[in-house]
Amino acid sequence: MSWIEDAVFYNIYPLGFCGAPEYNDGIPVNRLDRIYEWIPHMKELGITAVVFNPVFESTKHGYDTKDLFKIDCRLGSNAGFKRICDALHANNMKVLLDGVFNHVGREFAPFADIREKLQGSRYCGWFRNLNFDAGSPMGDPFRYEGWAGNYDLVKLNLQNRETADYLLGAVKMWIEEFGIDGLRLDAADVIDPDFFRELRKTAKSIKSDFWMYGEIVGGDYNRLANPDMLDSVTNYECYKGIYSSHNEHNYFEIAHSLNRQFGNGGIYRNIYTYNFVDNHDVNRIASSLKDKAHLNNVHTILYTMPGAPSIYYGSEWGVEGTRTNSSDRELRPCMDIHHIPNPNIELSDHIIKLGSIRQSLPALKNGSFENLQIKNEQLVYRRKNAAQTVYIALNLSREEKWVDFQGEGKGIMTDVLNSNAEFPFDNCVHLPVPPCGARILVQRDCRI
């Protein structure tokens, strides 16, 4: 699986992170250079890969692309971004970009050409359901398909050879000239599967360990994540299950999802899922939870479940944000690392510790998954590979609770999350779990 088993992602929405103007003013400013100040912090977190949401030249929010070969001038320049990629790589961090290949903005040059020349444009085949028998809601004398009814997002026709070549050419450039290591594929569930097959061949022919994951909110993950198409997908099922289980004091929900996906016979055991508890499209986890005392356990699950964990910038300090009046701006704030608003230092320290634990325990990266005890407010599961067995015990109650589960043989369990406390065991394990807390137990000195 190359580098992905070691991956801990950091997800940044650059236009918000940098405090860029809401609309592209055409004035080049190297705002994304502030990322240099964040590199030591990301290293302390144990980050090994950075996912940048849209960085390409756009009109407003990044998903209304104008030019896939150019860095948005509100963020800087191609030369400046090349230096950023080099710096991240020098610090052993992979770089992934947001591939917005389903749609473009109305200022995208081929679409602007149609607006000017109408039927006389050579680009009429580039867009879905272009028709000159009626007008569009945007006042054009022609119709076209807007993504999900949003007519500022013009849906591309990926079955058109020139359109596909334009997109694949951009991917080649970003790999060959900038050394990017992967892509997030926006709106992956509505993209032509044949395009993904061609994208995979193109990208992996240049860089064999290039890693691509698709944004998919529901449905069968295997439809997109398979040997012919993408490597992985966004794990929205467990995203919802993690916060909902804590809010409803019902660990059965996340236990069911984890077992369904990764347990014995699990339907996604062959997929190294991209796991998260918030991102630029959903409420921040500190705002989603009814009880912020559960933030530590939420992240403990994130770092110990199968797949790769991802932290959304600022959420390691418990930064809050919710969608308001259909606006995402509060989710995507400008962030000054020297002035984080009301930082939850205890949470960030916990995530730093989780990062270190994950890197030191191979079973958390590639071990099997099995639920051992499930109660409304307590959950115990096991991660196991050929060399190591790790148990994760969680308690969302405000009181200390005891858990019982079956170990293997007899020996000592070391709690690497809590001062390396040791617990002897003889098959049956009986131990306390702190209030709103967890234990990560490594089985050792086992004698069958």
User: Which contiguous run of DSSP H or E holds residue 355?
Assistant: helix 345-360
Both 176 and 233 in a single domain? yes
What are residue 425's DSSP bridge partners? 411
Q: Are residues 245 and 323 in the same domain?
A: yes
Q: What is the CA radius of gyration of the chain?
A: 23
**pLDDT recorded at residue 1:** 53
Helices (H) and strands (E) in the chain, counts: 12, 19
Q: Please determine, for residue 371, whether its predicted confidence score (pLDDT) is greater than 90.
A: yes
Give the total number of structural domains in the chain.
3
The torsion angles phi and psi of 35, rounded to 5 degrees, stand at -60, -30
- Report CA-CA distances (Å) from 322 to 281, 336, 348: 9, 19, 20
The residue whose two tokens read 């970009």 is 97
Residue 110 tokens, joined:
């081929």
Q: Are residues 91 and 133 in the same domain?
A: no
**What CA–CA distance (Å, rounded) separates 1 from 272?**
9
Last residue of a domain, one of 320, 348, 363: 363
Q: Which two tokens stand for residue 374?
A: 């499930």
Residue 422 belongs to domain spanning? 367-447
d(CA 225, CA 217): 13
pLDDT digits (tens, 9 = 90+) for 161-186: 999 999 999 999 999 999 999 999 99
350 pLDDT higher than 50 = yes
**Percentage of residues in the chain having pLDDT higher than 70:** 99
CA-nearest of 286, 281, 128 to 215 is 281
Q: Are 294 and 353 within one domain? A: yes
Give the separation between CA 302 and CA 438, rounded to whole angstroms. Answer: 13
187 and 118 within one domain: no
Q: How far is it, in rounded angstroms, from Cα 416 to Cα 395?
A: 16
Residue 137 and residue 70 in one domain: no
Residue 426: per-residue pLDDT: 87
Q: Is the dihedral of CA 393, 394, 399, 401 positive or negative?
A: negative
Name the domain boundary from 363, 383, 406: 363
Same domain, 215 and 139: no
Note whether 324 and 425 are same-domain residues.
no
List, in order, residues 6 or more apart from 308 with CB less than 8 Å away: 4, 5, 7, 8, 9, 232, 272, 273, 274, 275
Q: 30-59, pLDDT tens digit by residue?
A: 999 999 999 999 999 999 999 999 999 999
Sheet holding 368-374, edge to edge: 368-374, 378-384, 389-395, 437-447, 401-415, 421-433
Alpha carbon distances (Å) from 301 to 223, 241, 317: 26, 11, 17
Q: Are residues 185 and 296 in the same domain?
A: yes
Average pLDDT in the chain: 97
Q: Give the domain CATH number at 137.
A: 3.90.400.10
Cβ neighbour number for residue 232 with a 10 Å cutoff: 24
pLDDT (tens digit per residue) in 69-112: 999 999 999 999 999 999 999 999 999 999 999 999 999 999 99
80 and 55, same structural domain?
yes
The tens digit of pLDDT for each residue in 388-430 reads: 999 999 999 999 999 999 988 888 999 999 999 999 998 889 9
Question: If pLDDT is split at 50, 70 and 90, which confidence band does 230 have?
Answer: very high
Sheet holding 308-312, edge to edge: 232-233, 211-214, 182-185, 94-99, 49-52, 9-12, 308-312, 274-276
Same domain flag for 244 and 338: yes
Q: Please state, in angstroms and as integers, the Cα–Cα distance from residue 397 to each residue in 299, 406, 446, following that order.
A: 16, 22, 31
Question: What's 429's domain CATH number?
Answer: 2.60.40.1180
pTM listed for this prediction: 0.97
CATH number at residue 254: 3.20.20.80
Decide: helix, strand or coil at residue 314. Answer: coil
91 and 124: one domain? no
Q: Which of 114, 138, 157 is a domain's end point?
A: 157
